[in-house]
Amino acid sequence: MKKEKTVGAVAENDYVIRVLDSPLQIPAADWNALLAAQPGDASLNPFMRHEYLAAMLESGSATPQTGWTARFVMLSLGAQLVGACALYLKDHSYGEYVFDHAWANAYHQHGLPYYPKALVAPPFTPVPGPRLLARDDKSRALLVKALVAWCGEEKLSSLHLLFATDEDVAACEEAGLMLRHNVQFHWTNRAPTRVTTCPALPPEGALRLRTGEAGSAAPAGEEEKGRPFRDFDDFLMSLSQEKRKKIRQERRKVLEAGVRFRWSLGKDISAADWDFFYRCYERTYYEHGNAPYLSRDFFQRMQDTMPENWLLFVAERDGAPIATSLIAVSAGGARAEGQFDSIPSTRVAYGRYWGALERVDCLHFEACYYQPLQWCIIHGYQRFEGGAQGEHKMARALLPVKTTSAHWLAHPAFADAVERFLEREGEGMAGYMEELERRNPFRQAGPGGPGSP
């Protein structure tokens, strides 16, 4: 295996791009330091940590045998690493969650190879985050330019950056890449008056907020900026009567079925709990007719190398575990229960995996939404990201957020066709967001308004 390829100078003679075959060839401290330099809460995204990407490879989960061939691109200025990205050569489109199967079929119908293609995103992880790790905007722009040039040299059909941050999107758009928008559903620990379109990673204060409807007067100045929920009942009181009643009914069904939950964070998650989680995770995939993407060894590496980023909920009945929900968290710290100070935007939780060995009505909603939301409120987490797809999440107060990917196609005619398609798709997406806005689960502002108790 070749250890690295030097692409050469980029824009200025002092900048050099190298393409490595493995994250293991990159010092973890250098990579993580570059991640920490990213703006906002993107710097704490656990899915771009060196340990996470290395575990994908070392566990056999993302390897050439599974269709993920690593090519880590490094941008250096003299001796300093100023840019990097995790790129994978793909010979299929599985595990990406931004669907381009129609593009691949069109290539095939015209006798052209679509695979291999280049993908810039962590494997099997539909979570918005930084894709172009860079010290500054200039380095980020040079990194995009180098990626396109390298894909051309390698005669790849296309380049795709998925679930990118606003900074990445701006650099890609400046370089001429096409943008594609999708929708995820995220919960925010403040009550908005309405659904709104958000940037790729919504900053704190991006939504217009309201408070004072949870049975207590808001302190001076909070009417405008909002406040975090005090407890789960406080959160429920911000919802319309219909949604509030439905959630209470669903939670009651789980409770009356004799199910109780416990949670463990970080190193408190026992080896037995990790084993039980994987039984549930594996069974869920097989029940849907697929082999699991991730191996048991991958999660062992998570337990060993970045335990602080994992939160496990275990559902038990009669003292025996029956289901689990594994949540990822940014390692930004948690407040003590009962504190209601402002919440920094660096506390983010991410819904990831779930599985059950027994069928209990509404158990999925309790394990994947209500328990994590309740935990986030108690421990001062500002956002819970619900993962890919799922309009049903709106009934649980996860609101639509626009996500963005960027695409480059080498073939001019296909690039033109895809650009026209994306224009039409974008118009449809705007209409879809308007439709979702009309289904806002929160109470309407004003006494006696729709949804008021």
Same domain? For 267 and 322 the reply is yes
Asked if residue 8 belongs to a domain, the reply is yes
Same domain? For 219 and 366 the reply is yes
Q: Residue range 317-329: average pLDDT? A: 97
Asked if residue 429 belongs to a domain, the reply is no
Q: How confident is the model at residue 343 (pLDDT cuts 50, 70, 90)?
A: very low
Domain count, the chain: 2
> In this structure, are residues 263 and 306 in contact, taking their beta carbons and an 8 Å threshold?
no
User: Rounded CA gap, 47 and 121, in Å?
Assistant: 9
Q: Specify the CATH number for the domain of residue 161.
A: 3.40.630
H or E stretch covering 281: helix 271-287
Please give the residue that has the higher pLDDT: either 271 or 202.
Answer: 271
3-state SS class at 239:
strand
Tens-digit pLDDT profile for residues 178-207: 999 999 999 999 865 544 344 444 433 333
Residue 151 CA to its chain's centroid (Å): 26
Asked if residue 415 belongs to a domain, the reply is no
Report phi then psi at 313, rounded to 5.
-105, 135
Asked if residue 101 belongs to a domain, the reply is yes
Same domain? For 157 and 274 the reply is no
User: Rounded CA gap, 304 and 298, in Å?
Assistant: 10
Whether the per-residue pLDDT at 449 is higher than 80: the answer is no
Residue recorded with tokens 């990097």: 84
Pairing mode of beta strands 383-388, 12-20:
unpaired
- What are 351's two structure tokens? 């819904």
Asked if residue 361 belongs to a domain, the reply is yes
Q: Which residues touch 218 (CB under 8 Å, ≥6 apart)?
A: 211, 212, 227
pLDDT value of residue 14? 83
Nearest to 335 by CA among 233, 238, 229: 229
Q: Where in the sequence is the domain holding 40, given as residue range(s)?
A: 4-176
Nearest to 164 by CA among 131, 120, 123, 118: 131
Same domain? For 316 and 391 the reply is yes
Same domain? For 15 and 129 the reply is yes
Same domain? For 162 and 209 the reply is no
Q: Residue range 163-167: average pLDDT? A: 97
Asked if residue 163 belongs to a domain, the reply is yes
> In this structure, are residues 341 and 335 in contact, taking their beta carbons and an 8 Å threshold?
yes
Percent over 70 (pLDDT), the chain: 84
Whether the per-residue pLDDT at 311 is higher than 90: the answer is yes
User: Rounded CA gap, 302 and 184, in Å?
Assistant: 25
Sign of CA dihedral 421, 423, 424, 430: positive
Global pTM value = 0.87
Question: How far are the Cα atoms of 243, 363, 373, 393, 418 from residue 254, in angstroms, in the given order?
Answer: 17, 6, 16, 18, 47
Same domain? For 132 and 51 the reply is yes
Tens-digit pLDDT profile for residues 355-391: 999 999 999 999 999 999 999 999 999 999 998 878 8
Report phi then psi at 59, rounded to 5.
-85, -5
> In this structure, are residues 200 and 403 in contact, taking their beta carbons and an 8 Å threshold?
yes
pLDDT value of residue 41? 86
Same domain? For 255 and 299 the reply is yes
Asked if residue 433 belongs to a domain, the reply is no
SS (H, E, C) 161-179: ECCCCHHHHHHHHHCCCEE
Asked if residue 195 belongs to a domain, the reply is no
Same domain? For 171 and 217 the reply is no
Same domain? For 165 and 289 the reply is no
User: Distance from first CA to last CA of the chain, Å, rounded?
Assistant: 66
Q: Give me the DSSP letters along 18-40.
A: EEES-GGGS-HHHHHHHHHTSSG
Tens-digit pLDDT profile for residues 71-123: 999 999 998 999 999 999 999 999 999 999 999 999 999 999 999 999 999 99
CA atoms within 13 A on the CB side of 312: 27
Computed over every residue of the chain, the mean pLDDT equals 87
Whether the per-residue pLDDT at 452 is higher than 90: the answer is no
Q: Which residues touch 222 (CB under 8 Å, ≥6 apart)?
A: 211, 212
Same domain? For 97 and 211 the reply is no
Sign of CA dihedral 341, 345, 346, 349: positive
Report phi then psi at 208, rounded to 5.
-75, 130
Tens-digit pLDDT profile for residues 32-49: 999 999 998 889 899 999
Same domain? For 268 and 389 the reply is yes
Q: How confident is the model at residue 5 (pLDDT cuts 50, 70, 90)?
A: low
Tens-digit pLDDT profile for residues 202-252: 433 333 223 333 333 334 344 334 689 999 999 999 999 999 999 999 999
Tens-digit pLDDT profile for residues 120-138: 999 999 999 999 999 999 9
Q: Specify the CATH number for the domain of residue 353.
A: 3.40.630.30
